[in-house]
């Protein structure tokens, strides 16, 4: 008898959006560098070139990032900066899902641990700043947005997470 295959749900960066931003940033940077070198006293053009180069680098880095969130039958893991945090379904107090309301609105998946303090205390650098920002904006230190900049592997996020949790953790829709 064939063994059932494991299902994995992910939220990944939007390669198309980040690729367009990175490519556009590179082209605009080249344009500013060409005009700045041909124009005497083109300091503002050099500054603009540096700003667009930075934008292209940030968008390009987003292309290198793998999944932002991974959920399977065992539990759920999410990326905070360069660090990963994970919990088994049984260890979670609940998971809330804020669905997307329209094209310009982002949804969100938030993990609620009984005591997130030790987990967040283990974060360093950028991950700690992201956790603080998440807590202020969403009420949970461990949250991942999805929408324009990040895409879920399945459109029915709530149903997929309920299926994977299989009653071991409440999955609730945030209204």
Rounded CA-CA distance 49/6 in Å is 47
pLDDT for position 4: 47
Percent of the chain with pLDDT over 90: 25
Q: What is the pLDDT of residues 90-147, one digit of tens each?
A: 888 899 998 888 888 888 888 888 777 777 777 777 777 777 777 777 777 688 888 8
Res. 3: pLDDT tops 50: no
Q: Give CA separation, 32 vs 21, 62, 94, 99, 156, in Å.
A: 16, 24, 50, 40, 44
Q: What global pTM score does this model have?
A: 0.72
Question: How sure is the predictor about 6, in pLDDT bands with cuts at 50, 70 and 90?
Answer: low
Question: How sure is the predictor about 51, in pLDDT bands with cuts at 50, 70 and 90?
Answer: very high
Res. 1: pLDDT tops 50: no
Q: What is the CB neighbour count within 10 angstroms for residue 130?
A: 18
Res. 78: pLDDT tops 60: yes
């Amino acid at each position: 008898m064939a063994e059932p295959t494991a299902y994995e749900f992910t939220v990944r960066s939007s390669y198309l959006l980040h690729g367009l931003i990175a490519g556009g940033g590179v082209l605009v940077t080249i344009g500013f560098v060409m005009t700045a070198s041909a124009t005497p006293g083109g300091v503002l053009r050099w500054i603009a070139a540096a700003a667009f180069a930075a934008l292209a680098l940030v968008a390009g880095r987003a292309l290198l990032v793998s999944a932002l969130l991974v959920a399977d039958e065992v539990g759920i893991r999410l990326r905070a900066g360069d660090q990963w945090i994970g919990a088994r379904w049984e260890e979670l107090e609940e998971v809330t899902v804020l669905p997307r309301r329209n094209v310009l609105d982002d949804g969100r998946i938030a993990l609620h641990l009984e005591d997130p303090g030790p987990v967040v205390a283990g974060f360093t650098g950028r991950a700690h700043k992201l956790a603080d920002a998440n807590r202020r904006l969403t009420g949970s230190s461990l949250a991942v947005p999805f929408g324009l900049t990040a895409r879920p592997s399945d459109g029915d996020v709530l149903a997929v997470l309920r299926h994977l949790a299989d009653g071991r953790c409440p999955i609730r829709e945030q209204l």
